[in-house]
Each structure stands twice: as C-alpha cells, then as structure tokens.
Amino acid sequence: AQSVAQPEDQVNVAEGNPLTVKCTYSVSGNPYLFWYVQYPNRGLQFLLKYITGDNLVKGSYGFEAEFNKSQTSFHLKKPSALVSDSALYFCAVRDKANDYKLSFGAGTTVTVRA
C-alpha cells in the first residue's frame, strides 16, 4: 500500500529564513509525488510534482522539492520564506497502478513570522 508521512505537525520560521517541510513515502513501485498547499477554508493548490527525471523539482511560488530515492524522501523547500507562505502543506503520493488515487500525509502547518 502507498503512504506518505509528514513527521512535523508544525514548522515555524522567521521571514527570510529557509523553509523545509519534510515528507517520506512508501510505495511498491515508482513513486509519483506531489506537494499541495491549503489556505484556510480553501481547496488545495498544486505546488509541484515528481514523476521522473531530475531529482530537484521546481514549482510555484519559489518552492522546490528534492526527490531522494535512497532515503525515500521528498522534502519541500523554499530558500527565503514569506509571511504569505503561512498555510497548511500536504505531501501526497500516487501509485499509478491504483487507479490514480492520491494518498495524503497528515499535513504540516507552516507559520512564517515577520
């Protein structure tokens, strides 16, 4: 069965500092990995995905993520966080053989203080 884990419920950083949100995954085959962001009372916004190719994936709003197969990780990063990055972040994995269903992590609340 496919699954992802987000080990941190909350991440707090100061504006301008680097931001990292951790995610590890477990799949039987090749992983299809995604990051989404959710603002209060809103749906999820797609940030980036890893399907194949370069391990460093660049996405929206200055975010990037690094796929590490040996560590089964897909951490989300931003070099310089903004207050507006404060939101709930979800990592998700899809097993293509599983009818394109996404399995989500529990979510990590990011708070960027001014």
Contacts with other proteins, residue ranges (CB under 8 A):
32, 34, 36, 41-46, 49, 51, 90, 94, 99-102, 104-107
Nearer to other proteins, 17 or 58 (CB): 58
Q: CA-CA distance, 58 to 82, in Å (whole number)?
A: 17
Q: How far is the CB of 80 from other proteins (least distance, A)?
A: 26
Q: CA-CA distance, 69 to 55, in Å (whole number)?
A: 9
**Displacement of CA 35 from its chain's centroid (Å):** 4
Q: CA-CA distance, 11 to 43, in Å (whole number)?
A: 21
Nearer to other proteins, 42 or 69 (CB): 42
Q: How far is the CB of 101 from other proteins (least distance, A)?
A: 6
Nearer to other proteins, 20 or 98 (CB): 98
Among 61, 56, 65, smallest CA distance to 86 is for 61
Nearer to other proteins, 46 or 61 (CB): 46
| Structure tokens belonging to residue 81 | 């966080």
